[in-house]
Amino acid sequence: MNQQEENKLFERINKSDEKAFEILFHKYYGILCSFATKLVHDDVAAEEIVQEFYVKLWEKREQISIDSSVKNYIFRSVKNLCLNFIQHNKTKIAHAQKLLSEVENNFSDDNNYPEPGLYEKIEESIKSLPEKRREIFRLSRQEGLKYQEIAQKLNISVKTVETQMSLAIKTLRDKLKNYTTFFSFF
């Protein structure tokens, strides 16, 4: 398919032609997944990034105007999503390292002991989480599984695991806000 044919195909997509979208999807999906994998070094994340691209493409199909070739637009878009993913992960790692450093600093001397009732309150707060969220939280924090491992074990997406963990941590922060000693841990 040459550039002119791709531009005509994209014009059909702009007009909500699902068949044209399907043709474009099948033409580039595998190649985009390989491309994204080379950038993010994670097959599952790469596939989710490509799927996210196609969802956004369909949602914004009427507003998108392509100045260059369709192929360049598609690869540039996926590359940008990959770079956003990499930056987001760097930020998460930096935040986790900062929290770990704070926890280590808070408990570096022998005078720092857990506040009375903290362990019970933590367990009570975890038990109050919705069942699936609680399961995901325990697999991550108590069994030490990575998000990708949890996703595979529970047959859900990594994005779902990330969302559920974020919601669990937010809930626990809210419920444990009076326990300043361990607040930074969550």
Q: Which fold has domain 3-86?
A: Rna Polymerase Sigma Factor; Chain: A (1.10.1740)
Rounded Cα distance, 70 and 155, in Å: 34
The C-alpha angle 48, 19, 57, rounded to 5 degrees, equals 40
**CATH 1.10.1740.10 intervals, the chain:** 3-86
Secondary structure element (H or E) that encloses residue 155, with its range: none
User: For the segment 26-47, what is each residue's pLDDT rounded down to a tens digit?
Assistant: 999 999 999 999 999 889 999 9
Q: Flag whether pLDDT at 183 surpasses 50.
A: no
Entry pTM: 0.54
DSSP per position, 18-47: HHHHHHHHHHHHHHHHHHHHHHHS-HHHHH
Domain 114-183, second-level architecture: Orthogonal Bundle (1.10)
pLDDT digits (tens, 9 = 90+) for 55-108: 999 999 999 988 788 999 999 999 999 999 988 888 877 777 777 776 666 555
